[in-house]
Structure 1
Amino acid sequence: MFWIREHISKMPSFDTFNTHADTIVNNIEMNPALCIETCKSLIEGICKTILTNKAYIYKDDIKFQELVRQTIEVLVINSYNHKEKLCELARRIASVAQVIAEIRNNSGFASHSQDIKNISVDSTMSLFIYKITDVIGGFILHYYMTHNNPKKDSRIHYEDCDQFNEYFDDANPLVIGFLTLSASEAMYQQDYEAYREEYLNYLETKVEK
């Protein structure tokens, strides 16, 4: 999970997915079926988080293949370089994701229990899917981080805005008695829209400089 973890480390709001990554790595040999099931859940979670961040509505019962395809196409929609090729890759990657879903359904550790005589997957399969998951998830996170435009996002996560938070706290010291509070965190919790406006203004100012 090197590529996925690399990007999660740069976006603290995605930190919860480290638990998925740990489960995947720890179960490649010990429990291949659980490893594969968690691979699917990890990609699914990343895709749904990004689509929600970008105010893109998807169906609750969306198929895994369609979810992956839509996520990549939403990310590359404003690309000026090789857009058609990227969309084609999105369709092909989605097809690979669908195979992962089918393998997961046939050998699911929890959601799709099988008869005790059912042939289980081995560590070779789980290792292969683990590597594929890191490529798919890593590419999606890489593109999201590299080309993301916060102005078009529906959600801004406080923990992802360290530079702005530090700047705002320094410019607006908040002291109550002997207690120093974070002005940026207080604004985020009490008036999210005001925080959002200040953050976007901060980004515009950085670009202009």
Structure 2
Amino acid sequence: MKWIREHISKMPSFNYLNAHILTIENTIETNPDLCIEVCKSMIESLCKTILTNRAVAYNADWQFQTLVKLTLENVFTGELHKTNKIELIRRIASVVQKLGEMRNCSGFASHGQDKQHIPFDKTTALLTYKTTDVIGGFILHVYACSNSPNSRIHYEDCQSFNESFDEENPLELGGVILSASEALYKQDYEAYKEVYYSYLNNLKN
């Protein structure tokens, strides 16, 4: 999953998706049903993380395609003419709807199946794997490119700021050099956010 991995490397808070990726890649041929199920789960998980980062409310009982559609509507801004954007989001939602339907048919881990259940073949799993990388990678791409600030930020995603803040605010305790940015993040998260966004605004000017 080249595209998804590319964005994870730039946004370390999404490192938790690596466990999904490994499962997917290791089961394409050995367990296609599980591969398809985890593909759906990974996109669902990254959408919920993005929406929570943006403080956008969602219902845990929503259909899969509704969750993806809401995510795209909140991060996909200013890159295409409005009509084209709406049409693209609609088509992506249609694709993930089919992915959700396939997952419901397999249900290897979440639903369980009768012993005579006919599993998906590895070619279908491979197609699902590739499709997941395109859709998940695109969602992460537009999220990373969006100019809208996050309500929730993650320390590990702010490396440049952290290094700059530590350099400008050396912190030593008992002869041990500490990270001022990490201390601020853990002790006063709201103050950290304020300084971080001020740093970002200064970069734009």
TM-score w.r.t. length of structure 2:
0.97
What displacement does 1:81 show? 2.8
Residue type matched to 1:62 in 2? W
| Aligned residue runs from structure 1 range 129-148, under 5 A | 129-148=128-147
Q: 1:84 & 1:56 partners in 2: Cα distance? A: 23
1:76-126 deviation digits (Å, cap 9, x = unpaired): 2x4263222122111111111111111111111111211111111110110
Partner of 1:2: 2
Given the alignment, which residue of 166, 169, 188 partners 1:191?
188
TM-score w.r.t. length of structure 1:
0.95
1:159-184 deviation digits (Å, cap 9, x = unpaired): 00001000000111110112111000
Residue type matched to 1:32 in 2? P
Q: 1:80 & 1:93 partners in 2: Cα distance? A: 16
Percent of pairs with identical residues:
60
Q: 2:105 & 2:13 partners in 1: Cα distance? A: 32
Q: Report SS of the residue matched to 2:46.
A: helix
CA change 1:148–1:42 in 2 (3 A) is farther
1:155 aligns with 2:152: yes
Q: 1:91 & 1:148 partners in 2: Cα distance? A: 22
Partner of 1:59: 59
Partner of 2:165: 168
Residue type matched to 1:172 in 2? N
Q: 1:60 & 1:122 partners in 2: Cα distance? A: 30
Contact 1:3 1:134 in 2 (8 A): yes
| Aligned residue runs from structure 1 range 104-123, under 5 A | 104-123=103-122
Partner of 1:50: 50
Q: 1:123 & 1:112 partners in 2: Cα distance? A: 20
| Structure 1 residue ranges (4+ consecutive) displaced by more than 6 angstroms after TM superposition | none
Q: 1:141 & 1:80 partners in 2: Cα distance? A: 14
**How many pairs align?**
205
Partner of 2:178: 181
Give 5+ residue unaligned stretches, structure 1.
Answer: none
What displacement does 1:190 show? 0.5
Partner of 1:97: 96
1:23-43 deviation digits (Å, cap 9, x = unpaired): 111110011111001000100
